[in-house]
Chain A
Amino acid sequence: MNTSPSAEGSRPRTRFLTAAVAWTALVAVALAVMPLPFRDRLPSPMATHWGPSGDPDGAMSLTALIVFALALWLAVAALCLAAASRGRALTRRSARAWLVAGLVWGAAFSLGLEAVTVAANLGRARWEDAAPLGPQAVLVAVAAFAAGAIGYLAARRGPDEPPAMPDVPQTDLGLDPGRSAVWVSSVSSPPLFAVGLVVLVAAGSLAVAALFGLPAPAGPMAAVTAVAGLAVLSVSTVAVTAGPEGLRIGFGPLRWPSRRVPLSRIERAWAERAFPSEVGGWGYRGLPGAATIMIRGGDCLVVRYTSGGQLRISVDDAANGAALLNALLSAPLR
């Protein structure tokens, strides 16, 4: 996917990237400027963190709050911009929609957080007196997701240009009509498995520490760490099965969760080689509709959906899996 977009296709791409950069700058300026008119009516430091009870339990200066909000926004925007500038990402309608959704969500979320924080501190003498924050925080999260969804729907238009499909020669697998054929393959990465285990152990230690009365953040931190550990484990090993029912991908050592793609949704399959350096690392990479499940570099099975999207999984013996899927797709009775 290293082909540079043609001159004709590069104009909308430039326009999209320019608009995204302008949006990033605009939101950054808004984040920096918005609290300034209220400067005189805010305590210093001001409350910036609220405990589970809804009462403030942490404070920062106004400058630190602005820097924090800017860092949050720029991190989200940088991720989106990096994904947008990658190769031919912007030729896909769904990719553009996801990127717009991310940019709108990040803007709404960071601006909302800043506004809610300033509003809670407004007119108070000390940060400890800041208004409790419960429903407002939920409202910001919900509103940001809603804004992201609207952005997604609004940007889901324009030309969609699926990446070219290679010509796959029909391989004769010697399938008899009286036999049912299945293809089974799996791939695992011991390093990823080890990393997942280490993170899970860390989560367990944090949970134990929280039980024995370590400060409050240990509990939520244990939960977040556990989720991260499980996420890494789920892509440390994957089983891929192809058969008359279609494609099935089982994640993690338990093969759960699993994902099924019925034959009716598949247009064609092929094998190609891809490496973590090309897709940006290990694990689930890319956006839905153009994603890669990268466990290790090398042989990959690619499935093109009838909807135009595609999914790529690094897995051994991909050529046979692709050939079986294609044979099942071209079978008269399916």
Chain B
Amino acid sequence: MLLTLDLNDPRPLHEQVTAAIRRAITDGKIAPGDRLPPARDLADALGVNANTVLRSLRHLRDEGLLEFRRGRGVSVLRRPDARQALESQVRDLLDEAARHGFRPHEVIDLIKELS
């Protein structure tokens, strides 16, 4: 499973890990029914604590994207729906804007201007 992390992301680690796994599912790098590598392997590869990864996995389960099954590990249940996919893109946009000093309402103004 291919994961990408933003090197300058100011968000807490567990949110970054959540976003990375969600992006992998959205992009189809890992398909519904596929099993995720064990949390410890993910943690080792990303250089974070295993608990951080577990927290992300639980969050994604609560979003309905992952399924935990006893003895079978964690597998992908479904892709994020359009709204969830859009939501994560908007969140990326807001983070990018914040990095350049734009506040959310200024982004909203910009969107209104363009639409």
Contact = CB atoms under 8 A, between A and B. Distances in A.
Interface residues on B, range: 10 to 19
Contacts of A173: 2
Interface string B33-72: 0000110111011100000000000000000000000000
A250 B2 contact: no
A181 B1 CA distance: 10
Given A174-B27, A185-B37, A186-B37, A179 B4 contact: yes
Interface string B1-22: 1111111100000000000000
Given A178-B7, A180-B7, A320-B29, A239 B1 contact: no
A41 interface: no
A21 interface: no
A317 interface: yes
Interface centre among B2, B3, B5, B37 (most CB of A within 10 A): B2
Nearest to A177: B7
Contacts of A180: 4-5, 7
B97 to A, nearest CB: 15
Given A180-B5, A182-B4, 10 more contacts: A174-B27, A179-B4, A181-B2, A184-B41, A185-B1, A186-B37, A250-B44, A255-B44, A321-B2, A324-B2
Given A185-B37, A186-B38, A241 B44 contact: yes
Interface residues on A, range: 20 to 34
B5 A179 contact: yes
Interface of A: 173-176, 178-186, 239, 241, 243, 250, 255, 317, 320-321, 324
Contacts of A250: 41, 44
Contacts of A239: 37-38, 41, 44
Contact of B41 (A175, A186, A324): A186
25 contacts: A173-B2, A174-B27, A176-B4, A178-B7, A179-B6, A181-B2, A182-B3, A182-B5, A182-B46, A184-B1, A184-B3, A184-B41, A184-B42, A184-B45, A185-B37, A186-B41, A239-B41, A239-B44, A241-B41, A241-B45, A255-B44, A317-B1, A317-B30, A320-B2, A320-B29
A181 B37 CA distance: 16
Interface of B: 1-8, 27, 29-30, 37-38, 40-42, 44-46
A179 to B, nearest CB: 4
B48 to A, nearest CB: 11
A184 B37 contact: yes
Interface of chain A: mostly helix, strand, loop or mixed: strand
Contacts of B6: 178-179
Contacts of A185: 1, 37
Q: Across chains A and B, which 8 residue pairs bring their CB atoms closest together, nearest first?
A: A184-B45, A179-B4, A239-B41, A241-B45, A182-B45, A181-B4, A186-B37, A184-B37
A149 to B, nearest CB: 36
A178 B7 CA distance: 6
Contacts of A321: 2
A234 B27 CA distance: 33
Contacts of A176: 4
A134 to B, nearest CB: 46
Contacts of B44: 184, 239, 241, 250, 255
Given A255-B44, A320-B29, A183 B7 contact: no
Contacts of A241: 41, 44-45
A127 to B, nearest CB: 56
A250 B5 CA distance: 22
A178 B41 contact: no
B2 A183 contact: yes
A315 B27 CA distance: 21
A181 B23 CA distance: 12
A182 B23 CA distance: 13
A179 B7 contact: yes
Contacts of B4: 175-176, 179-182
A185 to B, nearest CB: 6
Nearest to B27: A174
